[in-house]
Amino acid sequence: MVRKRVRSSNVSAIGYDPEQAVLEVQFLDGSVYQYYDVEEEVHQEFMTAPSKGRFLWQFIRDVYEYEQIA
């Protein structure tokens, strides 16, 4: 999955696979998480959110099933 670099104090890059509805988030410490069954609209809102970390905590982390992959 291709990730796009973002400006954030916590998140370094975000990727999305619309066919699988998988959101991938790489953090500045190098860890990578995949979030499952994420709607494309949520991905788009995440990409344009002024605070990526705040958006992740409020609208993604405790809403979608996820696992650390790296």
pLDDT for 1 equals 87
Q: What is the pLDDT of residue 23?
A: 98
pLDDT tens digits, 5-33: 999 999 999 999 999 999 999 999 999 99
- pTM here is 0.95
Please give the residue range of the domain that contains residue 23. Answer: 3-68
Structurally, the chain folds into a number of domains equal to 1
Question: What tens digit of pLDDT does each residue of 30-55 get?
Answer: 999 999 999 999 999 999 999 999 99
Give the burial class of 34: count Cβ atoms within 10 A of its Cβ; 0-12 exposed, 13-18 middle, 19 or more buried: buried
